[in-house]
Each structure stands twice: as structure tokens, then as C-alpha cells.
Amino acid sequence: MGLALHNILFVIEGDREESVVKNLQKVFFGEKTIITCVFGTVVYALYKEISADTDLDVFPLLQKRLKGLEGFTRDSFSEVYLFFDYDRHASNASDTKLEALLNTFDNETENGKLYVSYPMLEALKHCNDLACFKNQIAECSPNYKKQVNRECAPKYIDFNTYDKKVWSELTEAHLCKMNYIVTDSYSFPTDYFLQSLIFEKQKVKYGAKDDKTVAVLSAFPVFIYDYFGSITLEEKLK
């Protein structure tokens, strides 16, 4: 399998992300081939595996860990993306580890590009009033999922039901939020921001309470902004 196939590999943290990815593919990617593999645990476990590899040959590590990559090589994929939660409450959580991972997985055509949701996947739907989303923050807690289901608008609860209108609303909100986190301007971005910069701004601006508080931000709208670019994405969301 070669690059001519233009396969895209998504490495996701768990089964919860699968419904989001399937819906994302339907709305934004059409017939493009996306292979999705579940890593099965938090992002910090990935650090343990790559730090033990002195040659830092990432794809064989992923292939050894992930089901569904049999018969593929790194050249089978034009791009590799990884989607994980911040999961600051995990027992093996470490900002130092995450910084190292963001620096290792910073290019989709090489080792892959890591996107982080703050505090976790459910951030995507943690929205009730779009105007108030600017100031939506959350503690990194196992109870976060229950909090989101209590506070989000009913139309956002089920990822499987998202149509272009819902994606348009949430994408605009999260991208304005990303821009606000980095630049203090709650407006649709015109620049691209490194995941490592977003993480640094999260720590500086929102991590004062024992490193448990973050601004709510989903990885998926940030990914599609990076992937399509501002002009193309705005056209797709019309």
C-alpha cells in the first residue's frame, strides 16, 4: 500500500471518539479513506513507549500497539493524526510528558500530529449559550462527563446526530475560543497555532488552581481548521 492511496490514519484514545470521527468523516471528508485505530488508554502511556525507543521509530510502536494496522507501513498513509484527552487527573499525568509528546508528534507527514482536547473529548459538546462559551472553563475531573451532560444544549448531547449546522456552530465557537486562549481575541482565527503554544497558554492563563483548571476546547474543530484552512473551512460550513 503506497502513498498513491492517500490514506489518512487517525489514532484515537478510546471508543468514545469513534462516533465523532465517523460523523466528522461524513460531514467533511466524503469518500476520502480514513483508517481509525483505538490506542486504548491515556496519552501519557504513549510517552512511556516512545521514551523507551532510542531510535524513535514511531510507526512500528503504533503498529505493535494498535489493532487494524496489520499489512500497513508508514508509507501507506499520507498523514497521521492523534487525538487524545488532556486527562490531567490521570495517575500518570505529567505536563512535561505532554510537552515532549507535542514536540514529537508535530507533523502529520512525519511522526504524526497530536491534537489535545481540554479537558477531554466531551469538551466538543460542552456548550449551551454560544455567546458565553468564551468563558467556559472546567476542572480536570472524572466527573466532567456528567457535568457536560447537565450543562450542554440538548442538540449537542449525541455526537451521532451532528449535522453540518451543528458542526458549524460548534466549530465556530471552539475556533473563536482557541483564538481567545492564544491572542485574547474571541473571533474567528486567521492564523495557525501550534498545539504546543495552545498548551502553554492553557497553563499560563487557566492552570492556576493546582493545574486542574483549563479553558474548554475540543481538538476536532482545531484539527479541521488546520486541515482545510480558514477560507475553505468557512465555505464548507456554509
User: Cα–Cα distance between 74 and 32 in angstroms, integer?
Assistant: 18
The more confident residue out of 208 and 176 is 176
User: Cα–Cα distance between 47 and 236 in angstroms, integer?
Assistant: 35
pLDDT at residue number 51: 84
Tens of pLDDT, residue by residue over 68-123, are 898 899 999 999 999 999 998 898 999 999 999 999 999 999 999 999 999 999 99
User: Cα–Cα distance between 117 and 114 in angstroms, integer?
Assistant: 10
User: Cα–Cα distance between 202 and 138 in angstroms, integer?
Assistant: 12
Q: How many CB atoms lie within 10 A of CB 100?
A: 14
Tens of pLDDT, residue by residue over 127-156, are 998 888 999 999 999 899 999 999 999 999
Q: Which residues contact 46 (CB under 8 A, 6 or more apart)?
A: 39, 82, 84, 101
For the cut 80, the answer to whether the pLDDT of residue 185 exceeds it is yes
pLDDT band at 58 (very low <50, low <70, confident <90, very high): confident
Pairing of strands 137-139, 7-12: unpaired
Q: What is the CA radius of gyration of the chain?
A: 17
pLDDT at residue number 5: 60
For the cut 80, the answer to whether the pLDDT of residue 1 exceeds it is no
Going from the C-alpha of 125 to that of each of 17, 156, 201, the distances in angstroms are 13, 5, 22
User: Which residues pair with residue 9 across a beta bridge?
Assistant: 35, 80
pLDDT at residue number 208: 55
User: Cα–Cα distance between 178 and 191 in angstroms, integer?
Assistant: 11
pLDDT at residue number 45: 92
For the cut 90, the answer to whether the pLDDT of residue 194 exceeds it is yes
For 206, phi and psi rounded to 5 degrees? -130, -5
pLDDT at residue number 54: 65
Of 134-138, 179-183, 189-193, 230-234, the range with the lowest mean pLDDT is 230-234
The more confident residue out of 146 and 55 is 146
Omega of the bond leading into 154 within 30 degrees of 0 (cis): no
C-alpha cell at 170: 460548534
> 181-190: long-range contacts (C-beta < 8 A, 24 or more apart)?
181/205, 181/206, 181/215, 181/217, 186/134, 188/230, 188/234, 189/225, 189/230, 190/230
Mean pLDDT of 18-31: 92
pLDDT band at 3 (very low <50, low <70, confident <90, very high): very low
Of 11-15, 36-40, 54-58, the range with the lowest mean pLDDT is 54-58
Average pLDDT, the chain: 91
pLDDT at residue number 2: 40
